[in-house]
Amino acid sequence: MLFFTQCFGAVLDLIHLRFQHYKAKRVFSAAGQLVCVVNPTHSLKYAPTRCAAAQTSTEQGILPPCHHHEAVHDPQLVPCTCPLFSCPWEGHLEVVVSHLRQTHRINILQGAEIVFLATDMHLPAPTDWIIMHSCLGHQFLLILRKQEKYEGHPQFFATMMLIGTPTQADNFTYRLELNRNQRRLKWEATPRSVLECVDSVISDGDCLVLNTSLAQLFSDNGSLAIGIAITTSKVHNAEGEM
């Protein structure tokens, strides 16, 4: 009986996902973009660790390891949430993609323009939604994070990072776009390298920032659709640099 109940639950989940996917496809159908449903990540996240990111090592192509602490007693301290979460793995850039896919089950999508559909936006902070994006011969990581910078006021932070060096990252521009309820918000910037800790990008607020009410305005039934496009920096510089 329990088996049948679980099966029924799984079928319902699949129908729900399919429905969300269909809605997102309808929403973005004009552009013929690939839609990917992204569920929040739960595993290995926000363990009592911190990223000992040595800035000096970032240009050497080695990801800084995340060292374990005994405990985080101060609630002001934000645990390490570099793209490898609290994973103690350490390795060269060339094998980061396979590590992320195999160990952390992060999906990878192909295409210049895709739609990132983050589900369950109502989940309490801190929560991450992560996907890899393969484009222009490189792999990028999109990170959407719900976090309380000010206690009791969760905000959403979205940024894109290149799985490459900061020098390589300078050659690209990424665009994140939200569009719903007669409102449109676009953010364009140069991606950071995964060798830089994502925590600093978010604590600096140098990314797309949404407060909860705005996120709700852009959400549909608890899911937030973010259109993603990546171009080379030459295009960005030519058309937009001021």
Is residue 240 within the footprint of a copy of itself (CB under 8 A)?
A: yes
Give the Å distances, CA to CA, from 178 to 36, 149, 181, 209. Answer: 15, 22, 10, 11
**Nearest distance, CB of residue 167 and a copy of itself, angstroms:** 15
How many residues at the interface with a copy of itself, by CB under 8 A?
A: 32
Element (DSSP H or E) covering residue 161? strand 153-162
Is residue 76 within the footprint of a copy of itself (CB under 8 A)?
A: no
Residue of 25, 45, 69, 180 interacting with a copy of itself (CB under 8 A): 180
The stretch near a copy of itself (CB under 8 A) out of 36-44, 57-65, 88-96, 206-214 is 206-214
* Distance, first Cα to last Cα, the chain: 65
State how far the Cα of 76 lies from the Cα of 137, in Å rounded to an integer.
Answer: 39
Is 119:146 a contact under the CB 8 Å cutoff? no
Is residue 78 within the footprint of a copy of itself (CB under 8 A)?
A: no
**Nearest distance, CB of residue 15 and a copy of itself, angstroms:** 23
| Window 137 to 176, contacts with a copy of itself (CB under 8 A) | 149-150, 153, 173
Burial of 187 (C-beta count, 10 Å sphere; 0-12/13-18/19+): middle
Q: Which of 144, 132, 142, 196 is nearest to 170 (CA)?
A: 196
State how far the Cα of 148 lies from the Cα of 9, in Å rounded to an integer.
Answer: 32
**Nearest distance, CB of residue 215 and a copy of itself, angstroms:** 9
The stretch near a copy of itself (CB under 8 A) out of 26-34, 59-67, 91-99, 139-147 is 26-34
Q: What is the DSSP letter of 88?
A: -
Residue of 61, 166, 168, 188 interacting with a copy of itself (CB under 8 A): 188
Is 115:33 a contact under the CB 8 Å cutoff? yes
Residue of 205, 222, 232, 235 interacting with a copy of itself (CB under 8 A): 205
State how far the Cα of 152 lies from the Cα of 67, in Å rounded to an integer.
Answer: 29
Residue of 55, 98, 211, 232 interacting with a copy of itself (CB under 8 A): 211
Based on CB atoms, which residue is closest to a copy of itself, 87 or 228?
Answer: 228
What are the structure tokens assigned to 169, written together?
């990252």
Is residue 204 within the footprint of a copy of itself (CB under 8 A)?
A: yes
| Window 30 to 69, contacts with a copy of itself (CB under 8 A) | 30
How does strand 183-189 pair with strand 172-180? antiparallel
- Interface positions with a copy of itself (CB under 8 A): 27-28, 30, 149-150, 153, 173, 179-180, 182-190, 204-206, 209, 211, 213-214, 217, 225, 233, 236, 240-242
